Structure 1
Amino acid sequence: MAIMRWGDRSVWIRCTAVVYVAGFLEGTAVHGFFLGKGGLDAYSYAPLLVQLLFHALLLFDPLVALLIIRARPGGPVLAAAVVLADVVGNWSVAWNAVMTHPTAFLRPVGLLPITLFGLFVLLTALPLRRALTPGGDINACVSPPPKAG
């Protein structure tokens, strides 16, 4: 099995991986903060399944970051699943408040950045997975130009 070096990958791939790692480590810190501040009742405002999800993210977020750092092809796939669950959980809790006061959520913390990060991960997960597959590269997804002649 070939050892993948980050320096051998394109700037796009390295920057995408950095955004993933930063986003999932930030999520780890936030969930750790809420657990430290509120204990197991930190998410008591949410339904039980969402509470369990938010606590589980304290394990899944750093796992995703580790898989990306180690350049494992399964990392982006797990990232997409984790972020989708996180975004759905956050939107399900905030839906009524968003419908009542939509502009209150246009701020740089909370639902907006989680949603934007989620969209970024969902749109880049498959290309990043291909790029992290041994012998894979993002350029393999692009068709070569037709030959003249």
Structure 2
Amino acid sequence: METRGRPAAPGWVTVVVRYAVAVFVYGTVVHLFQLATGGTHPYPDAPTWLAVYFVSLTLLDPLAAGLLAARRAEGLFLGCAVLLTDAIAAPTRPGSSK
């Protein structure tokens, strides 16, 4: 079965992509909740650069999810970049054990 002129992805690829989309949607919900409950400074203990990064994930997470769901290569690249930078930033997150 083809989708928009592309051959269907193997079943395991579809499962991995759906899981990744779910992870990014969950991240979006978490960041929206933090923005809604945190006021103008949702990450008061974080350095400014880290707070800006986390706020930017409110836009980058759903963008990655949408691009992945649409089977766009950009979604794979953006998703990898978001996950990699989040993993790098994790030790600097306030309250994390170093």
For residues 98 and 73 of structure 1, the distance between their equivalents in structure 2, rounded to whole angstroms, comes to 35
SS at match of 2:71: coil
Map of 1:115 onto structure 2? none
Which structure's relative contact order is higher, taking Cα pairs within 8 Å and 6+ residues apart?
A: 1
Map of 1:30 onto structure 2? 30
Query: What is the number of equivalent residue pairs in this alignment?
Result: 96
Alpha-carbon distance change, 39 to 48 in structure 1, aligned in 2, over 3 angstroms:
same
> Please, what TM-score do these two structures have when normalized by structure 1?
0.59
For residues 39 and 54 of structure 1, the distance between their equivalents in structure 2, rounded to whole angstroms, comes to 14
Map of 2:64 onto structure 1? 64
1:41 aligns with 2:41: yes
Runs of 4+ in structure 1 off by over 4 angstroms are: none
CA contact (8 A) 2:90 2:96 kept: no
For residues 66 and 4 of structure 1, the distance between their equivalents in structure 2, rounded to whole angstroms, comes to 19
CA contact (8 A) 1:31 1:58 kept: yes
After superposition, give the CA deviation of every residue in 1:35-82 in whole Å (9 maximum; x if it has no partner).
000122111111110000000000000000000011001111110111
Map of 2:4 onto structure 1? 3
Give matches, 1:72-83, under 5 Å. 72-83=72-83
Give matches, 1:127-142, under 5 Å. none
CA contact (8 A) 1:4 1:71 kept: no
Residue 31 of structure 1: how far off its partner (Å):
0.2
For residues 18 and 77 of structure 1, the distance between their equivalents in structure 2, rounded to whole angstroms, comes to 16
> RMSD across aligned C-alpha pairs, in angstroms?
2.0
For residues 87 and 47 of structure 1, the distance between their equivalents in structure 2, rounded to whole angstroms, comes to 16
For residues 55 and 64 of structure 1, the distance between their equivalents in structure 2, rounded to whole angstroms, comes to 15
Alpha-carbon distance change, 75 to 4 in structure 1, aligned in 2, over 3 angstroms:
farther
> Counterpart of 1:70 in structure 2: which amino acid?
A
Map of 1:91 onto structure 2? 91
Counting strand residues as a fraction of each chain, which structure ranks higher?
2
